[in-house]
Amino acid sequence: MSADIARPPLPPFDRVAAEKKIRLAEDGWNGGDPAKIALAYSLESEWRNRVEFFQGRKSIEEFLTRKWQKERDYRLIKELWAFTDNRIAVRYAYEYHDENGNWFRAYGNENWQFDDNGLMENRHASINEKPISKAERLFHWPLGRRPDDHPSLSDLGL
């Protein structure tokens, strides 16, 4: 167990707790603060993100800083896929544009494992993306937290 402060909801997860954990993660990522986001992960959290494999909060913060230098105006929606005990499976989509104004939508799945304090100790992400036109964008809220009344991935048919 990490010596860090607990990050509720804590495992074992039920549906309500899993959905809350997912929304807190989504809110954090949409907030775009790598240092703050990294605090949701255990000190030695292990990540697999596409072809990158790394460990630890410092690496997570560095990764997210690099990510958002390239992926601008980032907006993310996450949705519960499955859960049990200390694990949650999530599907998600996010939209962003590059430095040239080209828009993309990325689709992915994440498998999360949490320690007893509710800190994520393992994150495995598989991601695919495709170019989209500005007119094809579906995520139009102002940067930051997705409004509660914004459609979910399922509602959007994604």
Whole-angstrom distance, CA of residue 44 vs CA of residue 56: 4
Q: What predicted TM-score, i.e. pTM, was given to this entire model?
A: 0.94
- 15-156 is a CATH 3.10.450.50 domain: yes
Give the 3-state secondary structure of residue 5: coil
For the stretch 37-70, pLDDT in tens is 999 999 999 999 989 999 999 999 999 999 999 9
Give the 3-state secondary structure of residue 34: helix
For the stretch 126-147, pLDDT in tens is 999 999 999 999 999 999 999 9
pLDDT at 3: 56
Whole-angstrom distance, CA of residue 20 vs CA of residue 54: 26
**CB neighbours of 151 closer than 8 A, spacing ≥ 6?**
none
How many C-beta neighbours within 10 Å does residue 21 have? Answer: 26
Q: Please, which pLDDT band fits residue 5 given cuts at 50, 70 and 90?
A: confident
